[in-house]
Amino acid sequence: MHESFLTLPSMVFLFFTAMLAGMINSVAGGGGLIAFPALLLVGIPPINANATNTVGLWFGTAASAIAYRQELAHQKMLWLLSSVSVAGGVGGAYILLHTPEATFESLIHYLMLIGTVLFATGQP
């Protein structure tokens, strides 16, 4: 870990950004589109920022699933979609961990743009 993002102002900035991202995630999803750039802004390397963002927002996703467990229990496709999501997450993590950081850095802008467009045009 670099000393540059351990400063008190950086930690305060990340704390409030994480709070905002968590609130956005709990209402509509997409909090990672706020948290990930904030992690990059304070100097965290892109692959580390991506992993940190994923782990940090996972707790909100788990809490939402627990809160809506009764509604989710009646979803016929839940196990299929959950299995596909887990497989995609594991596959994506594997690819990320085996991608050179320079390659990931060159793709970040496009990946963020694609994610933003998909989020903005998705069904409610």
pLDDT tens digits for 84-97?
Answer: 989 999 999 999 88
pTM for the predicted model, two decimal places? 0.80
Give yes or no for residue 4 having a pLDDT over 60.
no
Residue 22 and residue 60 in contact, taking contact as beta carbons nearer than 8 Å: yes
Q: How far apart are CA 31 and CA 23, in angstroms?
A: 8
Residue 35 and residue 48 in contact, taking contact as beta carbons nearer than 8 Å: no
pLDDT digits (tens, 9 = 90+) for 17-32: 999 998 888 787 888 8
- pLDDT number for residue 64: 80
Tell me the Ramachandran region of residue 29: left when phi exceeds 0, alpha when psi lies from -120 to 50, beta otherwise. Answer: left
pLDDT digits (tens, 9 = 90+) for 46-84: 999 999 998 887 887 788 888 888 888 888 888 898 899
Q: Give the other-Cβ count within 10 Å of 57's Cβ.
A: 22
Domain coverage including residue 34: 3-121
Q: How many domains does the chain have?
A: 1
- pLDDT number for residue 124: 52
